[in-house]
Structure 1
């Protein structure tokens, strides 16, 4: 007897001027991934449930489409698609921005494509965080949102709980990034191959980039996770994390591992290596400089940790996957 697959909901926002090709393209991409995942008999993979959230005249999103109607469930991710036109104030009313903040605070991963990155910046979620956006709006973005660490030379910035992409067509890579997280690199690669779209093969050869568990229901631990993502887990110890969670250290350690499946030290290692992978793929900085940037004072310790997690030395990783 077949075992019923658990569902994971992925929401797509339809705001004024949203590119509908991206909305429906993401919906189709996730459905293709579902079909491919169903063929993997060796492991039980989740079923992707895609919902569309239409913004009404008051700026409040409401569910307008559900690929698998059923009881309400928390969204694993909310994707903000691009717009062909320039960003306008009307596209980001206060009620919508508040709703996006609420989703993030509850543990939803938020992804923004092109103008979607601007919407995330307006919400304040990108303050102190790394992000990218379309090259044509990079100067305006930097001027309007100085609190955001803009990395306009990167096509995608995956900051764990916040993902931003630069191009109008980058919704496909964002979708594949989520398929990779939820179903694994082989399903993501097969989905890209079926759709004949480009996809980085670094995850299929070195494992998926770090995708922290956020929908665990422990608000104190989620607060620490968001704090670690914002700080890059640089120069932080267990005592500081416990203070951020307002918990005694032993209680914090137990709850952190129960929520994330990792010890705090392991979690920080994965987070730092994830950032280093992006820098090796998209920048020309020296390996020692990258090690220092992601929080390692000893480059040899960085190299050892990087190889332990990815299976490759940093230099070999760059040679294979650097743009």
Structure 2
């Protein structure tokens, strides 16, 4: 039987992450019993105190065991933890050496949504792939530059460490873990019972690109603003460099450092974000939207759109414009 440790941190934590993980993994045991098989998981809530208040005292979680009582576990689940990351880490620092020790003993680790920030603070994600909520991807990269963040994925797996993307995508990771530990048949039963879309791997369709301006490089900000105000035009790196009186290589280096995107990638993302909004709210056809955002090559537009969103223009419009889909 595999021991599952669902962490119950101090501070504001995602209750759905904790309760949902407990419910789904416990249901696996129910299905196993229905098949005449022994339980697969011993699921426990693991905390730092016997009573942990949540939501300003609105809820209280009573862990099954304290972290000091768990000598060996097989899977650690880290829920989303809200607030200033430095304060979150300080309040829950007792977990950190225990997580590292358990991983070294062979335990696997799964962080849910922005729980990746806490997991990254252990150092175990350095050099590994990770996902987190797309809206905090740029902040994550600034704090943990040694982690290979892939903000378009809904989940990652790297050397026994799993991470999930934004919000309720943790359900997709849980189904994936169920399949890994209990097999495809049980995973399908779980996905049907909880109505979770099995095999979904991308969070790209949900990303709202808002630009990455949490930096102090003013010329780069001016370049970003110019791109956002003139995205329908043909914009080149040389044009931006001349406008800002910078060398091309200097601009490209500074732009990448400040935004985590190349200039070309940023231009593409601004164009595609404008196209997404048009598909969501207008009755324009694919070619009209394509021309509006500055593309003249249908194949190029479709290729970039799918790369950014994970969906074709037609799929995206049908998914998010109910008036046209009806």
TM score, norm. by length of structure 1: 0.53
Report the counterpart of residue 50 of structure 1 in structure 2.
Answer: 43
Please report how far the alpha carbon of residue 115 of structure 1 lies from its aligned counterpart in structure 2 after TM superposition: 1.5
What's the C-alpha RMSD, in Å, of the aligned pairs? Answer: 2.7
Correspondence for 2:88 among 87, 91, 101: 91
Report the counterpart of residue 138 of structure 2 in structure 1.
Answer: 139
Greater relative contact order structure (CA < 8 Å, 6+ sep)? 1
- Summarize the alignment of residues 133-212 of structure 1 with structure 2, pairs less than 5 Å apart: 133-200=132-199
Paired residues of 1:130 and 1:150 also in contact (CA < 8 A): yes
* Alpha-carbon distance in 2 for matches of 1:35, 1:53: 22
* Alpha-carbon distance in 1 for matches of 2:195, 2:176: 16
Q: Which runs of 5+ in 2 are unaligned?
A: 51-60, 202-309, 312-326
- Summarize the alignment of residues 109-120 of structure 1 with structure 2, pairs less than 5 Å apart: 109-120=108-119
Paired residues of 1:53 and 1:64 also in contact (CA < 8 A): no
Please give the per-residue CA displacement for 1:64-114, whole angstroms capped at 9, x wherever unaligned: 5449xxx9673110000113x444322213332222111111111010011
The change in CA–CA distance for 1:72 and 1:139 in structure 2 (over 3 A counts) is closer
The change in CA–CA distance for 1:102 and 1:40 in structure 2 (over 3 A counts) is same
Paired residues of 1:8 and 1:47 also in contact (CA < 8 A): yes
How many residues align? The count is 187
Asked if 1:10 corresponds to 2:10, the answer is: no
Correspondence for 2:75 among 77, 95, 99: 77
- Summarize the alignment of residues 1-323 of structure 1 with structure 2, pairs less than 5 Å apart: 7-15=1-9, 16-41=11-36, 44=37, 46-56=39-49, 65-66=63-64, 74-83=72-81, 85-93=82-90, 94-200=93-199
Paired residues of 1:104 and 1:110 also in contact (CA < 8 A): yes
* Alpha-carbon distance in 1 for matches of 2:130, 2:194: 27
* Alpha-carbon distance in 1 for matches of 2:23, 2:106: 25
* Alpha-carbon distance in 1 for matches of 2:73, 2:197: 26
TM score, norm. by length of structure 2: 0.52
Please report how far the alpha carbon of residue 201 of structure 1 lies from its aligned counterpart in structure 2 after TM superposition: 7.9
Please report how far the alpha carbon of residue 174 of structure 1 lies from its aligned counterpart in structure 2 after TM superposition: 2.3
Please report how far the alpha carbon of residue 143 of structure 1 lies from its aligned counterpart in structure 2 after TM superposition: 1.2
The change in CA–CA distance for 1:195 and 1:54 in structure 2 (over 3 A counts) is same
Structure 1 residue runs of 4+, over 3 Å off?
Answer: 63-67
Paired residues of 2:46 and 2:64 also in contact (CA < 8 A): no
The change in CA–CA distance for 1:178 and 1:46 in structure 2 (over 3 A counts) is farther
Please report how far the alpha carbon of residue 46 of structure 1 lies from its aligned counterpart in structure 2 after TM superposition: 4.4
Q: Which secondary structure state, in structure 2, belongs to the residue aligned with residue 102 of structure 1? A: helix
* Alpha-carbon distance in 1 for matches of 2:181, 2:46: 21
Q: Which secondary structure state, in structure 1, belongs to the residue aligned with residue 77 of structure 2? A: strand
* Alpha-carbon distance in 1 for matches of 2:150, 2:161: 14
Please report how far the alpha carbon of residue 134 of structure 1 lies from its aligned counterpart in structure 2 after TM superposition: 0.8
* Alpha-carbon distance in 1 for matches of 2:187, 2:159: 18
The change in CA–CA distance for 1:72 and 1:135 in structure 2 (over 3 A counts) is closer
Please give the per-residue CA displacement for 1:172-216, whole angstroms capped at 9, x wherever unaligned: 1222222112210110110110111212189xxxxxxxxxxxxxx
* Alpha-carbon distance in 2 for matches of 1:17, 1:142: 23
* Alpha-carbon distance in 2 for matches of 1:201, 1:165: 11
Q: Which secondary structure state, in structure 1, belongs to the residue aligned with residue 94 of structure 2? A: helix
